[in-house]
Amino acid sequence: MDFLAAYSFTDLFWIGLSLFLIGMSKGGFPVGAVALPILILVWPAQTQAARAAVGFMLPMLCLMDIVALAFYRKHVDWRRIGFLLPATIAGVAVASFLFVSDSAVVAVSDKALKILIGLLGIVFVVYFAAKRWILKHIHPSQPNWGKGSIFGFAAGITSTLAHAAGPVMQMYLLPQQLEKKKFAGTNCAYFWLMNLMKLIPFTMMGRINADNLKLGGVLLPVVPLGVALGWWLTHKTEQKHYTILIYAVLLITSITLIFKAL
């Protein structure tokens, strides 16, 4: 395992923790937003940390989605996902070839990507803080092609750039006021489909390399553990105080990421 020589025990711990947190989020407990900023901060090769971490994470996300679907397969509302898919494909294609590829029309540097991910983290925290007020002032809504196109395209863009479409999907699904298992299952199935789409351009652009796949294989056992814990917490606990703590950590981590990039 010569490829592990580039990582200290501390590096492996934090990378594994990031995967565990995303696994918990895939299991329905919303703590995954903090994982990518942490992963970028601890990634050994800091000059390309954001780009490398995003590429490393995609195959792991696909595996997590499969595990999560095993828990939530009976709770997926495919009709709500259907409204999103055409625009999602367009969003993934636009982000891949205009912003992310080596021949990108608008080149996004690693520094810019770190700042973008940090800003998205802050937006996520602000949205979380406003979410209760928003839900009190809206009536349950039904999905349609207009909403699906807007949110699907936005999710495709943000997910391709930084695996950061969580807030977009929450803004799409929360007004529909789904039961929590249906919310988690529908969210999980959508991200499974979108991450499979992203594998094509990421592979074509060389964003997924052999050493990262090997590292993912070493840390693979934390994935089902994270998903299982997230599923259990979603069903068994009141998540209010724990979630507040996670978002506080996300805010601090996102601000730190922006300052380090600057």
Please report, for residues 80, 104, 173, the alpha-carbon distance to residue 178 in angstroms, rounded to integers and kept in the order given: 11, 39, 7
pLDDT score at 190: 95
pLDDT score at 113: 67
pLDDT score at 149: 93
Q: At which residue do the structure tokens 């060389």 appear?
A: 206
Q: From the CB of residue 217, how many other CB atoms can be counted at a distance below 10 Å?
A: 12
For the chain, what is the domain count?
1
Report helix, strand or coil for 68.
helix
Q: Nearest to residue 184, comparing CAs of 54, 19, 24?
A: 24
- Low-confidence residues of the chain, pLDDT below 50? none
Question: Rounded to whole angstroms, how far apart are CA atoms 255 and 259?
Answer: 6
Domain interval for residue 14:
2-261
Q: From the CB of residue 106, how many other CB atoms can be counted at a distance below 10 Å?
A: 8
pLDDT score at 160: 87
Rg of the chain taking only CA atoms, in angstroms:
17
Please say whether the dihedral angle defined by the alpha carbons of residues 169, 175, 176 and 180, taken in this order, is positive or negative.
positive
Q: At which residue do the structure tokens 């970028």 appear?
A: 40
Q: How far apart are the first and last CA of the chain?
A: 35
pLDDT score at 9: 82
CB 191 within 8 A of CB 165: yes
